[in-house]
Structure 1
Amino acid sequence: MSVPPESVIPPPPPSEPPMASGPSAEERQWAMFAHLSALVGLLIPFGSIIGPLVIWLIKKDTMPFVNDQGKEALNFNITMGIAAIVCSMLMLILIGFLLLPVLVILWLVFVIIGTIKANEGTAYRYPFTLRLVS
């Protein structure tokens, strides 16, 4: 006795692999702290480099998103430190007096944008950044 092909139930489709979710809430929080820690530089000399460096060194092996964003924050703040030194030297020919306040405002705006993006779970890339730490 044979079964007609119309009555054969087709096999279920293969299950799809689970969608890769974004960074966890804890990873997003630590990445946000990596960006925000640069504001320590307003109180402590070189704090804008030390803050992201410490968070990156602590969390880089356990949280990939924090590793990426910590390096990004560190690279950006090193770049801004170099730019601040150049602006300070340019004060001898007076143009540094105009460039340094612009640099500080851009630094503050980009740190805030990076903080917001990290909190959203988006990998943020700062513009005009030398990628020294990779």
Structure 2
Amino acid sequence: MSTPSFEQQPQQPPYQPVPAPPLRPEDERTWAILVHLLPLVGVSFLGPLVVWLVFRGRGPFLEHHAKESLNFQLTVLIALLVSLVAVAVTFGIVVLAPFAVYLGALVLQVLAAVAASRWEWYRYPVTIRFVS
């Protein structure tokens, strides 16, 4: 019997993901507008989070707006939870607090979508910056 010879196999290069091509300016603007309007249809912070994760690195304008919207939606979620606790603790005396938070969020989201449609870099006021 002959002994098997162990030849050294050529090393494969490590996996390198292919970078996604940058978005066209029109597509980047469209997604920047949508990232502010998606929470209005009940998607909350998940819409901006998914857009930011999917399109990260494909355009600085869209990435900025996705992070801004995500930060704002997380801040609104915290504000709504605090206002609901306040309603429960005060036995409904501050019943308008959740409505005020929702109305303020609605106005600021529309302003952000309009700013994105004009190619403006918008920053939400009174927002906790979770993602920078």
TM bracket, shorter-chain basis: 0.7 to 0.9
Bigger share in helix: 1
Q: Is 2:86 aligned against 1:85? A: no
Q: What's the counterpart of residue 114 of structure 2?
A: 116
Once residues 103 and 79 of structure 1 are traced to their aligned partners in structure 2, the CA distance between those partners, rounded to angstroms, is 10
Q: Is 1:90–1:96's contact at 8 Å kept on the other side of the alignment?
A: yes
Offset, 1:25:
2.0
Q: Which runs of 4 or more aligned residues in structure 1 lie more than 4 Å from their structure 2 counterparts after TM superposition?
A: none
Q: 1:95 to 1:130 in 2, by over 3 A?
A: farther
Structure 2 letter corresponding to 1:38: P
Aligned AA (1:26) = D
Offset of 1:55 from its aligned partner? 0.9
* CA root-mean-square deviation: 1.3
Q: Does 1:50 align with 2:34?
A: no
Which one is further off, 68-77 or 55-64? 55-64
Give the distance between the partners of 1:95 and 1:73, measured in 2 at CA. Answer: 31
TM-score of the pair, normalised by structure 2: 0.76
Query: Structure 1 residue 40: deviation in Å?
Result: 2.8
Query: Alpha carbons of 1:91 and 1:128: their partners in 2 closer, same or farther (altered >3 Å)?
Result: same
User: May I ask how many residue pairs the two structures share in their alignment?
Assistant: 107
**1:95 to partner: Cα distance:** 4.2
Structure 1 gap ranges (5+): 1-22, 42-46
Partner residue in 2 for 1:27: 28
- Distance apart, 1:24 and its partner CA: 2.0
Following superposition, the deviation at residue 62 of structure 1 comes to 0.8
Deviations 1:43-75 (A, max 9, x none): xxxx21001111111112111111100000000
Preserved contact between residue 35 and residue 73 of structure 1 (Cα < 8 Å): yes
- 1:37 shift after superposition: 1.1
Structure 2 counterpart of 1:8: none
Distance in 2 of aligned mates of 1:49 and 1:102: 19
8 Å CA contact 1:88–1:96 kept in 2: the answer is no
